[in-house]
Amino acid sequence: MSLLPKSRKARRRLMVVATAAPIVVASAALAFYALGNSVSFFYSPVQARSAHVPTGRTIELGGLVAKGSVVKQPDGSITFVVADHAATDKVVYRGDLPDLFREGQGVVTKGAFRPDGDFEASEVLAKHDERYMPREVTRALKASGEWRGDGAQAAASKPTGTGA
């Protein structure tokens, strides 16, 4: 018992620290372990090309949905082209598209590249707000010089306008 501090207050503090320390260490270890398996990186098509994303790795691919590229295939899947200034990727998606999905607008898809080079999406992110632009898409478009500015974006995304 000689190792323990003498005052009851100090002993109580030691007890609290001795309980808290393993919890903190365990949860930190758990967090970093779990993070390694659930982080997915975001790329625009040209970034994905230059980063040589291996097939099968789950990533997020984002950009603008190319005009006229959305095709409903007879097998029930949907294909569309995600584009930035320099590259395009064909995306295959089997689910129901989000209600706010439009040609010419920003989109973020989650999935992996197939060996044939197409991107198989398991998720197409929907936004509540049609004026909302995913931050990564904004940044990628700005980086590629394709950004049309907030005003242009808002006007483009509301085809019916306000005075109609």
Partner 1 sequence: MTAELGSFALILAFALSIAQVALSAGGRLRGSAALTGAGEGAAVGAFVSIAAAFAALMYAFVTSDFSVANVAANSHTAQPLFYKITGAWGSHEGSMLLWCLALTGYGAVVALTGPGLPWRLKATTVASQGCLGVLFIGYTVFASNPLLRVANPLVEGASLNPLLQDPFFAIHPPFLYSGYVGMSVVFSLGVGALIEGRVDAAWARWVRPWSLVAWSLLTIGITLGSFWSYYVLGWGGWWAWDPVENASFMPWLVATALLHSATVTEKRGAMAAWTVFLALLAFTFSMLGAFLVRSGILTSVHAFALEPKRGILLLDILGIAAGSGFALFAWRAPSLPPGGLFAPISRESALLLNNLFLSAATVAVLFGTLYPLIAQAAFGAAVSVGPPYFNLVFGSLMGAVLLILPIGPLMAWKRGELKGVLQRLWWAALAAVVAGALVFAFHEPRKAFAGAGVALGVWLIGGTLTELAERARLGRTSLSEAGRRLRALPRGAWGMTFAHIGLGVFLLGAAIDGTGKVETAKVMAVGDQVDAGGGYHLSLDQVGQVDGPNYLANRGTLSVTKAGNPICTAAPERRFYPASGQTTSKVALCLRGVSDVYVVFGEQRTGANGQPGWLVRIFWNPWARMIFLGPLLMALGGGISLSDRRLRIGLPRRAAGTRGAASLEPAE
The footprint of partner 1 (CB under 8 A) covers: 8-9, 12, 15-16, 19-20, 23-24, 27, 30-31, 33-35, 37-43, 60, 72, 74-76, 95-97, 99-100, 108, 125-136, 139, 150, 158-160, 162-164
Query: Phi, psi (5° rounding) for residue 35?
Result: -60, -40
Token pair, residue 146, equals: 């394709």
Stated as kind and residue range, the H or E segment containing 82 is strand 78-83
Task: For the CB of residue 12, give the shortest distance to partner 1 in the complex, in Å.
Answer: 6
Phi-psi region of 56 (alpha: psi -120 to 50; beta: other; left: phi over 0): left
Closer residue to partner 1, CB minimum distance, 115 or 149? 149
Stated as kind and residue range, the H or E segment containing 112 is strand 106-113
Closer residue to partner 1, CB minimum distance, 85 or 127? 127
Task: For the CB of residue 13, give the shortest distance to partner 1 in the complex, in Å.
Answer: 10
Closer residue to partner 1, CB minimum distance, 118 or 136? 136
Task: For the CB of residue 56, give the shortest distance to partner 1 in the complex, in Å.
Answer: 16
Using an 8 Å Cβ cutoff, are 24 and 30 in contact?
no
Closer residue to partner 1, CB minimum distance, 117 or 151? 151
Nearest to residue 108, comparing CAs of 132, 87, 86, 85? Answer: 132
